[in-house]
A and B are shown apart, each in its own frame.
Chain A
Amino acid sequence: MKKKIKIKINGKINKIDDKTKLSDLIKNLKVPLKKVAIELNMEIVNKKNLNKINLKVNDKIEIVHFIGGG
């Protein structure tokens, strides 16, 4: 069985397989990639490089989009 690790997505702790690719995580979350921006440990991730990033323990991911605001 694959080792599980804890990461934070939008402030909430999630358990995922160790070395999950960021691209796979986004796919599993069913996030519309064209309408969001992704940050990994406070740094913006170029969406072209998502499959080159293996997630590791305690990574912090933020996925944001536009909502109504003034």
Chain B
Amino acid sequence: MKKDNLIISKRKFNSRLIVGTGKYKSMTECAKAIEISGANIVTVAVRRVNITDKKKPLLMDYIDPKKITYLPNTAGCFNSDEALRTLRLAREIGGWKLVKLEVLGDKKNLFPEMIETLKSTEILTKEGFKVMVYCNDDPLMAKRLENVGAAAIMPLAAPIGSGLGILNKVNIQIIRDQTKLPLIIDAGLGQASDATIAMELGCDGVLVNTAIAKAKKPFEMAKAFRNAVIAGRQSFLSGRIEKKIMGSASSPKKGII
């Protein structure tokens, strides 16, 4: 049987769960949760080195970039220039070309600023980046991102860190039906079943940070998400039954006493 890998820009990954590395209590906790989650890709942020406190632990000492694919992101960027600057620096650190673009438009709801996002996607793609794009769940915008060369479409389920789950399943379904690009739900998931729903809608993967990092038991939740993604994918590939209004008995009528 053909292996059911997640393929992004011709790169194959075993796991369809991508996890963020923020909000954990410690680097040790973060590294362990990632291991339990089975994720092959983790998102990371680009920030200033603390040049006064050199004893501060470095992410790379805990999560080996040779074993786990680092996906540099542009979290905290509010316009195209900031995002481009961040990802060019990220590429300089270690030659990373697969990146997550995230240009925010509002400090409260953290919704993506789609005009700047579209502009940045086009520029970065021309510079040779493979851009996985955090976006809203608008099918028209998703199409435009695809047209300018996005490597993956990553619509939000709900606002970042909100834990609300997928708010607009219909839009996600429409985006799924219109694109062959990897479709990854990014942001807003709250519990493992949200990931299953995303996978059952036909998404190629999910990206989770807060729901694991801020769960009361992050390691247990990492395991739950791992299983939920696998279950959702299997369910999707198995072909669900049609929905009907009326009941349909499971036991045969023949031979009733």
A2 to B89, CA, bound (A): 33
Q: Count residues of B near A (Cβ-Cβ below 8 Å).
A: 36
- Point out which of B30, B44, B48 has the most chain A C-beta atoms below 10 A from its C-beta: B48
Knowing A10-B48, A10-B49, A36-B93 are in contact, say whether A70-B209 is a contact too (CB < 8 A): yes
A18 to B253, CA, bound (A): 94
Q: Count residues of A near B (Cβ-Cβ below 8 Å).
A: 25
Residues of B within 8 A of A5 (CB): none
Binary interface profile of A, 37-59, with partner B (CB < 8 Å = 1, else 0)? 11100101001000000000000
Q: Is B256 located at the chain interface by the 8 A CB criterion?
A: no
Q: Is B88 located at the chain interface by the 8 A CB criterion?
A: yes
Q: Is the CB of A69 within 8 A of B45?
A: yes
The majority secondary structure among interface residues of chain B is: mixed
In the complex, residue of chain B having the shortest beta-carbon distance to the beta carbon of A38? B92
Residues of B within 8 A of A11 (CB): 48
- Which residues of chain B from 81 to 103 have a CB within 8 Å of any chain A CB? 85, 88-90, 92-94
What are 21 A-B pairs with beta-carbon distances under 8 A? A11-B48, A29-B51, A36-B49, A36-B93, A38-B92, A39-B89, A44-B89, A47-B92, A63-B49, A64-B49, A64-B93, A66-B59, A66-B70, A66-B72, A66-B93, A67-B47, A68-B21, A69-B20, A70-B22, A70-B160, A70-B207
> In the complex, given contacts A35-B60, A70-B160, what are 13 additional A-B residue pairs having Cβ atoms less than 8 angstroms apart?
A9-B51, A34-B94, A44-B88, A63-B48, A64-B46, A66-B90, A68-B27, A68-B30, A69-B21, A69-B73, A70-B43, A70-B45, A70-B187
List residues of B whose CB falls within 8 A of some A CB.
20-24, 27, 30, 43-49, 51, 54, 58-60, 70, 72-73, 75, 85, 88-90, 92-94, 160-161, 187, 207, 209-210
